[in-house]
Amino acid sequence: MSYQRLHMTLFGILATLVGSVVVAEFIGYWLHRLLHSDRFPALSRGHLIHHFLIYGPRQPMRAAEYQDATNNRFSVGNVGLEWVVPSAIILLFFWGVMLLFGVPRVYQAIALCTLLGWPLLMFNYLHDRMHLENFWMTRAPFLKSWFLKARRLHDIHHRRVNGEGLMDTNFGIGFYFFDRFFRTLARRHRPFNWTGYRAAIERYGLDETELLSLRRCSEALFSKPDKRRDRAQESDPRQCAKH
C-alpha cells in the first residue's frame, strides 16, 4: 500500500517510527549516562540536584506530587538545561544528516517528531510518574508488572552511587535494553555509598541552601541528627528517609 501524493509507503512509515524509537532510546541512554559522567560538570550538577537533594538518600523516592528540580533555574516546562541543550544539538544533527542524504520531508517530519516525542514520553512523563505515589499504572492490569519492574530499576539507579559520587547503573527509564547491552544493568539494591555521596556533595556544592531555594521540596534534609542517630543512618541508609 502506497501514499503516492506524499511519496511514502506503509513500510517506510513503520520503519521510520521503529528506527526513530530505537535511536531515541539509544540517545536517551547515552545522554543520561553523560549527565552522570562529570564530563560536563555544569550539566551534571543540574541533574544531580534531582538525585541528591530532591530524591536523595534522605528523601523518600515517591511523594503525592512530583517535586521539580528545575525551580529557580531556566527550564522548558520541568526539563532543565542539562537535558534541553544536548537534546537540541542532537535533533539539529539528525535533521542535518537527513537533509544531507535527501530523506523525503515527510519522513524527516516523522523521524523528528518521534525523536522529540519518545524522550518526552519516557524520560519526562514516565520518569516523573515513577516518583509519584499511587500512579495509575501501578493498578493497570496490562501495565502493572512492567511499570513496577521499571520503577524498581530506576530506584536502584538512584541508590547506587560509586566512590566518586557518580551513579553508574540503570540509565534507561521504561526500557533497559541498552543497559543490558552495555553492561550497566543492576537488578539489586546495595548498601548506600555514603562516601560517594559526600564526594558528590563536595564536588558540586549541593548543600542545604540549594535545597532551600527549591520550592515544594521536603525539609527532611534540614534535620540535625545527633551523633547516635547519624551512626545509625550510616549502618542502615533506609532509616534516613524517615527523618
pLDDT digits (tens, 9 = 90+) for 204-235: 888 655 555 554 444 444 444 444 444 444 44
Q: What is the pLDDT of residues 5-19, one digit of tens each?
A: 556 788 889 999 999
Kindly report the average pLDDT of the chain as a whole number.
Answer: 83
In a domain, residue 210? The reply is yes
In a domain, residue 242? The reply is no
239 has a pLDDT exceeding 60? no
The residue whose grid cell reads 505515589 is: 133
In a domain, residue 51? The reply is yes
Average pLDDT over residues 33-53: 90
In a domain, residue 61? The reply is yes
In a domain, residue 241? The reply is no
What pLDDT, on the 0 to 100 scale, is given for residue 9? 86
- For the chain, what is the domain count? 1
In a domain, residue 238? The reply is no
- CA distances from residue 21 to 121, 204, 212 in whole angstroms, order as listed: 11, 33, 38
In a domain, residue 14? The reply is yes
DSSP tally for the chain: helices H, then strands E:
10, 4
* Percent of the chain surpassing pLDDT 90: 58
Can you give the residue range of the structural domain that contains 225?
2-231
155 vs 175: CA distance, rounded Å:
14
Q: Using a CB cutoff of 8 Å and minimum separation of 24, what contacts does 190-196 make?
A: 190/159, 190/160, 191/237, 192/57, 192/159, 192/161, 192/237, 193/160, 193/161, 193/162, 193/163, 194/57, 194/234, 194/237, 195/163, 196/161, 196/162, 196/163, 196/164, 196/165, 196/166
3 has a pLDDT exceeding 90? no
What pLDDT, on the 0 to 100 scale, is given for residue 235? 41
**What is the distance, to the nearest Å, from the Cα of residue 10 to the centroid of all Cα atoms in its chain?**
33
